[in-house]
Structure 1
């Protein structure tokens, strides 16, 4: 699927605004606050087309729209152009990476995971072997507004209960940077995940950011790209 330029701009704006606010995005907002010289009626028509394409949907109680997993994937593959890490994030990550040493790779990777979780306000998962799993920052997920719903808390708690099994599987299957969204995501359909496998000397490590489905994929992917490049070797 390939959208025209106007639909790409609309979808990108809907996703960025939803990531920022966790609130469905309506045509009125896009017409008045967005970057479009279009009437609300024209925007509604375009949004209806995006909905037919399965890239956005309308929650039951709202007139606005939110992205679907397919919408996020399309956004990453076709709209996001700049996947380079920002100078500010690089400045914060560089001293953390320097501390990762072969002498105590396990503890230094755990320390790095904690720092990254705080930086991106999400959870970080880490596997140093199929049987050596660590996670941190789960509170960052539960404090997101969409996780105020009881069922979403239950769903995420069930994932945490089986996290050792999930990470054991991923340790053996992840071979490069992967974005997991929707039904393909073993961390649950309410979340998004970006994983990588690094090789620090003889040590293999699976490292990933897990957040709400509306996580900032562009930023988090740039961070995972940077960590992968710096940790390999």
Structure 2
């Protein structure tokens, strides 16, 4: 084995042992636990080279070393292929998410599940409504002056709005049918009253159709502030010792949701890991963030936030698995 390959294996061993034990890792421990066919002296030389390269450092006067942000990055970059979950784990995820009753419930469940799987803080971004296409519309008459429009998007979101017109049950059904026939599969910017075939309708019903389509367009193009679901914040308290200062900056960054939304927008890979100083916000300079896209390409992201000393392999496997099942469920 070449010296550079062995040093990479030594780095991997240091990361794995430090994540598991929380203790600085020495050459003797590496030789005993990982079956290197070289002496402890050779491993010490490898560790010296890794330290010179900025991949590990010595936190105290002890002989042990811990990874730096650059070391974690080098380790993550060696994970060329994320192993799939077991059949039992996949079934558990599928069962848990499929029990949801609506869009809000499925995202909340996804966050809780991800926090449980990784023991970190889970963050799930709501899909942007402007990128959603219409799946189905239903009009319901509720009084002599008001009706309710219920719109279901292809992301699984269910939105409802009041419409200030009186409709009979027959009119509500007829208008719903025409709108569904015209706009199913289209996004909000493709919706306009002129596109509906209403030439054969009496003037009053044509006006009703126009009013309903206007409300529908508002629903489908609403630029409401993007929302996040968070779960597992208490997990940070259990990892407080992993932060050189305190967890306060991380908590503040989580509270400022715009920080996470900006971070989500900046990463382009389907499965992305940002470590320590790679995160542009100072509050996350001692944290790592693992995220993945879910839904149709570019729809939204979910992920986890935790200390740089985390189980990256498990985090990447869990984030990708939940994202894929979420995509499958919302697309069904």
Measured against the shorter chain, the TM-score band is 0.7 to 0.9
The list of structure 1 runs, each at least 4 consecutive aligned residues, that deviate by more than 6 angstroms after superposition, is: none
**Across the two proteins, how many residue pairs are aligned to each other?**
226
Distance 1:66 1:118, change over 3 A: same
Larger Rg: 2
Normalised by the size of structure 2, how large is the TM-score? 0.61
Normalised by the size of structure 1, how large is the TM-score? 0.85
> Whole-Å Cα distance in 2 between the matches of residues 171 and 209 of structure 1?
11
C-alpha displacement at 1:30, in angstroms?
Answer: 1.4
Q: Which residue of 2 aligns with 1:144?
A: 239
Distance 1:168 1:76, change over 3 A: closer
**Structure 1 unmatched ranges of 5 or more:** none
**Structure 2 unmatched ranges of 5 or more:** 129-224
> Whole-Å Cα distance in 2 between the matches of residues 133 and 114 of structure 1?
13
Distance 1:41 1:172, change over 3 A: closer
Q: Which residue of 2 aligns with 1:225?
A: 320
- Range with greater deviation from structure 2 (2-11 or 175-184): 2-11
> Whole-Å Cα distance in 2 between the matches of residues 227 and 170 of structure 1?
19
Distance 1:172 1:32, change over 3 A: closer
> Whole-Å Cα distance in 2 between the matches of residues 229 and 134 of structure 1?
17
- Range with greater deviation from structure 2 (179-188 or 134-143): 179-188
C-alpha displacement at 1:122, in angstroms?
Answer: 0.9
Q: Which residue of 1 aligns with 2:14?
A: 14
> Whole-Å Cα distance in 2 between the matches of residues 49 and 9 of structure 1?
13
For 2:103, which of 102, 105, 112 is the aligned residue?
105
Q: Which residue of 2 aligns with 1:167?
A: 260
Distance 1:90 1:168, change over 3 A: same
Distance 1:215 1:35, change over 3 A: same
- Range with greater deviation from structure 2 (173-182 or 9-18): 173-182
> Whole-Å Cα distance in 1 between the matches of residues 11 and 232 of structure 2?
29
For 2:252, which of 148, 155, 158 is the aligned residue?
158
